[in-house]
Structure 1
Amino acid sequence: MGKTETTFEAANKVMEPGPLSEANPTGTWKDFLTIAKLGIVMSNLITTFAGFFLAVKYTNLNFTEQLVPMVLCLLGAALVIAGGCCLNNYIDRDIDQLMERTLERPTVTGRINANQVLWVGIVTSAVGTLLLALTTLTAAVLGLIGLFVYVVVYTMWLKRTHSINTVVGGISGAVPPLIGWAAVDANLHPIAWILFLIMFLWQPPHFLALAMKRCEEYRNAGIPMLPVVSGFEMTKRQMIWYTAALLPVSLYLYDFGTVYVILTALLGTGWLVLAISGLRAKDDIKWARMMFVYSLNYLTIMFVAMILVNIK
């Protein structure tokens, strides 16, 4: 349920917009995909599917017999995440106009009416929750928890008041693998919680790198991100602690086999070394950019590897 603006955003740029309707010629499907943050939805679906796939394996079910629950799970999760992103756009339209990276959002330019965004967010979230409930009630409840943390706790409250916003907001981004697992097995296995913890620890260094890159924009918008409030040195130390904690947690899934352990150790160690190198970095923004890119590749490779090594 995350906030991550990933490399999947490139997909948005190549999609041709089309008129939403004759009554609203300025609104396009691309505009609505933009406010739904398609990149975030797609990246979160990778972790959702990983949770679902691993749950099928560890409950000894036949994957081909779980195709309907899988579709309901992925579609439901996608709609809940997209709905949360729409609500985030609706709530943040006052500060989005103060930041360069969000200045062209349809909610800022007026290409989509604010009330439309609000109702699209509400309806999409509701439909997604219903679809998740058709798998298990636990999956639906987890979706609602992620939605509440992202929209209410993070967007409406902590993002505007406290630098801990990145950490607490990470809860919503860590929920998707739990949703995937719960769609198969409502009695969440310890592995499901390890997936949650991996996602939770991954997010602070990822988003703090972004916050460093956009520090002055956040400062101008009055958003108390950690780099704005405490400076780059404190931010870099925090990022080191999170990447260091992530390494042993990811290795806890040693049951996935030798290939997974070696790959995870190399990826985690590489990220930790890069994080530590930031203490002597001459160009903090360049270093933050490298951390951001590495985090995206780390997450994708890790979760794809979890799936591949468990295919039998």
Structure 2
Amino acid sequence: METRQKFILHEHENNTQTKTPSKIASIFADLKALLKLVVLIINVMPVVTGYLLALHFSGESLTNHIASFIITIVGSFFVIAGALILNNWYEADLDKHMKRTKRRPTVTGNFSLHTVLKVGIISSIIGFVFLMFTTWEATLYAFIGWFTYVVLYTFWTKRKYTLNTVVGSVSGAVTPLIGWAVIAPSYHIVPVMLFIILFIWQIPHTFAIAMRRYDDYKRAGVPMLPVVAGFEVTKRQMLVWIITLFPIPFFLFSLGKTFVIIATILNILWIILAIRGFFMKDDIKWANMMFRSSLQYLTILFGMMIIISLF
């Protein structure tokens, strides 16, 4: 009997040990989904790029601005995270209809909507408080990005107009201006071009996502362009927007000839891939290719900028 009790106790301890890490992993997974971690990182990276490039063109060293750099990144992180959390809070009713979002904690109920709302507001406030220790211009750009994403995109246009993609692109495009404005005024040609690149880039990138998730958006009733106008119209729109990226590198000769050449090659390759879409039978396969190539495009482009600013 004593042996049996020991066995049961030992088995209970093993189960407890296996469940605890699983519960922790589940919490982390929920936080990752709530923060939209990949989107958050993609949006913080241009802030870093803008900051480092401003130092580069101002002849300043990062070692002399470590405190300012940390405050800028932390502030931007919380502002962007707050906007994304509020987006999750408001779109819980849409997310339950979409396969890729139905496991978000706002849908599963792992986090209450009231809690998520409070966390989103608090995160946003913390971010703005941090940025207020930098410059008013950087704080203003952060507010423009936050307001555009939360109010103009999430609360207003996403459920009503295909124009939501263009509106949402403004919020992501201001991120390098935040970083740059901490060091210097942002009327320099480089941050302006970074804004234009990110604004344009987001539109075909988002259209590719909308094609990949066509059934989800249609089921949820979100008026994304592929749902409203079809794939052919979306393909044409994507090609037009990508072509408009072509001349941008020629305004950035201050970053060096190598950058201009590589950026131009990336633009040509992306244009070729966009044209291929009119000849491929499998639209979803092509949309997946466009989605991956858009991420690679942005990573290479901004990665080069960071390298240039550091060396």
TM-score where L is the length of structure 2? 0.90
Partner of 1:160, secondary structure, is: coil
Size of the alignment, in residue pairs? 291
**Which residue of structure 2 lines up, in the alignment, with residue 99 of structure 1?**
98
Q: CA deviation at 1:191?
A: 1.1
| Change in CA separation of 1:234 and 1:127 when aligned onto 2, cut-off 3 Å | same
* 1:216-227 pair list within 5 angstroms: 216-227=215-226
1:259 aligned onto 2:280 = no
In 2, Cα distance between the equivalents of 1:299 and 1:17?
A: 35
| Structure exhibiting the larger radius of gyration computed from Cα positions | 2
SS of structure 1 residue aligned to 2:169: helix
Runs of 5+ consecutive residues of structure 2 not aligned to the other structure? 1-20
Secondary structure, counterpart of 1:310 in structure 2 = helix
Deviation at residue 29 of structure 1 after TM alignment:
4.1
> What is the CA–CA distance in structure 1 between the aligned matches of 2:197 and 2:229, rounded to whole Å?
25
Contact kept in structure 1, 2:158 and 2:223, CA below 8 Å:
yes
Q: CA deviation at 1:174?
A: 0.6
- AA matched with 1:91: Y
Q: Identify the residue that residue 154 of structure 2 maps to in structure 1.
A: 155
Q: How many Å separate the matches in 2 of 1:187 and 1:87?
A: 28
In the other structure, the counterpart of 1:137 is 136
Say which is worse superposed, 134-143 or 293-302, in terms of deviation.
134-143
Matches within 5 A, 1:34-49: 34-49=33-48
CA contact (8 A) 1:182 1:188 kept: no
Cα deviation digits, residues 135-191 of structure 1 (max 9, x gap): 111111111110111011111111100001111110001111011101111343221
* C-alpha spacing 1:269/1:121, structure 2 compared with 1 (3 Å): same
Question: In structure 1, what is the equivalent of residue 60 of structure 2?
Answer: 61
Q: Could you tell me which residue of structure 1 aligns to residue 290 of structure 2?
A: 291
Of all paired residues, the percent bearing the same amino acid is: 43
Match for residue 228 of structure 1? Answer: 227
| Map of 1:270 onto structure 2 | 269
Deviation at 1:205, TM superposition (A): 0.5
Q: SS of the residue aligned with 2:158?
A: helix
Deviation at 1:58, TM superposition (A): 1.2
Per-residue deviation, residues 239-262 of structure 1 (Å, max 9, x unmatched): 001110012113321221121111
Query: Contact between 2:186 and 2:192, CA under 8 Å: does it hold in 1?
Result: no
* Equivalent pair of 2:50/2:176 in contact (CA under 8 Å): yes
Using a 3 Å threshold, how does the CA distance of structure 1 residues 99 and 204 change in structure 2: closer, same or farther?
Answer: same
SS in 2 for 1:102: coil
Instruction: Give the gaps of 5 or more residues in structure 1.
Output: 1-15, 21-26
Q: What is the rounded CA distance, in whole Å, between the counterparts of 2:87 and 2:108 in structure 1?
A: 16
Which SS does the other structure have where 2:125 is aligned?
Answer: helix
TM-score (norm 1): 0.90
Q: How does 1:1-312 map to 2 (within 5 A)?
A: 28-312=27-311
Q: Tell me the residue number matched to 2:6.
A: none
Whether the aligned pair in 1 keeps the contact of 2:211 and 2:231 (CA below 8 Å) is: yes
Determine the C-alpha separation between the residues in 2 that align with 1:219 and 1:29: 30
Map Cα deviations across residues 26-77 of structure 1 (whole Å, 9 max, x no partner).
x824423321111111111211111000001112222211111110111111
* Root-mean-square deviation (Å): 1.5
Paired AA for residue 44 in structure 2: L
- Aligned AA for 1:104? R
Whole-Å Cα distance in 2 between the matches of residues 32 and 304 of structure 1?
27
Which residue identity is paired with 1:210? I
- Helix, strand or coil: the match of 1:146? helix
Contact 1:17 1:29 in 2 (8 A): no
Q: Secondary structure at the match of 2:309?
A: coil
Q: Distance in 1 between matches of 2:24 and 2:243?
A: 48
Residue pair 1:181, 1:188 contacting (<8 A) in 2 also: no
Q: Distance in 2 between matches of 1:81 and 1:178?
A: 14
Separation in 1 of the partners of 2:236 and 2:137? 37
